[in-house]
Amino acid sequence: MRGKVLLIGWVVLFLNCTPKEQVKNQIRGNALGTTYSIIYIADDELDYKKEIDSVFQVLNHSMSTYIPSSDISKINDGDSTIVVDGMFKEVFGISSTVYNASDGYFDPTVGVLANAWGFGPGKQIELDSLRVDSLLAYVGWEKVKLNQNNTITKTHGSIRFDFNAVAKGYAIDRLGAMLEEKGIKNYLVEIGGEILAKGTNINSGKPWSVGIDDPQVSTGRQLKQIVSLKDMAMASSGNYRKFRVDSKTGEKYVHTINPKTGYTKNSNVLATSVVAKTCAVADAYATTFMVMDLEDTKQLLAKHDELEAYIIHLDKNGDVQEFFTPGFKALIQK
């Protein structure tokens, strides 16, 4: 009898140690003017759609320039009494860091120019060199200040913030933080092509596989590279999809604006992808590298070990070339 009890005890112990099969949950939708997809691994089927919508709602109230009642819209319209929230403060701090690191090529005070060129919520206007020069008076990160009481001071009322080059990445970071508060350790958050990957994909037991679009494919999608991401974020930027064509002249205007010149930036850089610890930082630098000359970007990357980058560009003969930092190249799937 004593032997049988012992045997049953071992069986119970074995059953209790059998790992529970995990469930792959996925939620898709539309937000921030684009689509999103969130995959998270849990012990059960869990629907976090309500919590996801809540994150987007709070972010929009803080930083959406397309919502007139948002904090950023009120600040842009001249309300100096608005007390910004913690998210606005974080994005302001990230913007300051990247502005300084990039020698001013990343500058979220380009809002007045984004409107003028037809890439913002404001009125598009006819531009010539004199008009662009006049608008540059309202651009410059040194012209804005986050005060100790969490209000914003602008040196001129016409200065307008535009956090579109960092807010989407920041939204991804906030969604990741929400999932981790729920105890989720393995997830992939994607909004409009920007990515935050944590843990592993249970289907393969390996890091998450993420594709990078080929910027020379004008219709449909074709992948240029596939990378493996674990506990890191990746953001990409390019002018191959975001542009407008003047109906009268047929001239193409890209969405990337050089804050130093005031003009949209057509350059030999076709697309950039940046890997960093947070998606907000990756997002900001991916946009910055579209504005900077390639050699300046390489010099910046040499000083910042926390960043990895992949840049598709044209050489002097018009041929497509690829630049990788060593760390990024190591992420590419063979």
Say if residue 240's pLDDT is above 70.
no
Distance of alpha carbon 12 from alpha carbon 1, whole angstroms: 17
Query: What's the one-letter identity of residue 232?
Result: M
What residue type is assigned to position 287 of the chain? Answer: T
Distance of CA 241 to the CA centre of its chain: 16
Q: Please check the confidence at residue 2 and state whether its pLDDT lies above 50.
A: no
Cα–Cα distance, 55 to 171 (Å, whole number): 8
Hey, is 295 helix, strand or coil?
Answer: helix
| DSSP output for 257-290 | B-TTT-SB---SEEEEEEEESSHHHHHHHHHHHH
Whether 21 shows a pLDDT value over 50: the answer reads yes
In this predicted model, what pLDDT tens digit does every residue of 283-329 receive, in sequence order? 999 999 999 999 999 999 999 999 999 999 988 888 889 999 999 99
**Rounded Cα gap, residues 127 and 249, in angstroms:** 13
**Amino acid at position 178, single letter:** M
What is the DSSP secondary structure assignment for residue 127, as one 8-state letter? -
Whether the CB-CB separation of 94 and 284 falls below 8 Å is answered with yes
The percent of residues in the chain predicted with pLDDT above 70, rounded, is 87
Percent share of the chain, pLDDT over 90: 71
Q: How far apart are CA 88 and CA 144, in angstroms?
A: 14
Please give the CATH topology (third level) of the domain spanning 23-329. T-fold (3.10.520)
pLDDT of residue 217: 72
Tell me how crowded residue 22 is: count the other CB atoms within 10 A of its CB: 12
CA distance 102 to 61: 29
The pLDDT value recorded for residue 127 is: 66
Encoded amino acid at 210, one letter: V
Closest by Cα among 221, 217, 222, 175 to 196? 175
**How many Cα neighbours within 13 Å face the side chain of 133?**
3
Rounded distance between C-alpha atoms, residue 254 and residue 243, angstroms: 4
Domain boundaries, the chain: 23-329
For 43-77, give the DSSP string.
Answer: SS----HHHHHHHHHHHHHHH-TT-TTSHHHHHHT
pLDDT in tens, 103-159: 999 999 999 998 887 777 767 767 677 888 889 999 999 999 999 999 999 999 999
pLDDT grade, residue 239 (50/70/90)?
Answer: low
What is the distance between the alpha carbons of residues 178 and 38, in angstroms, rounded to a whole number? 12
* Ranges 3-17, 95-109, 198-212: which has the least confidence: 3-17
Which one is predicted more confidently, 276 or 253?
276
What DSSP designation does 106 have?
S
Length of the chain: 334
Rounded distance, CA 219 to CA 18, Å? 49
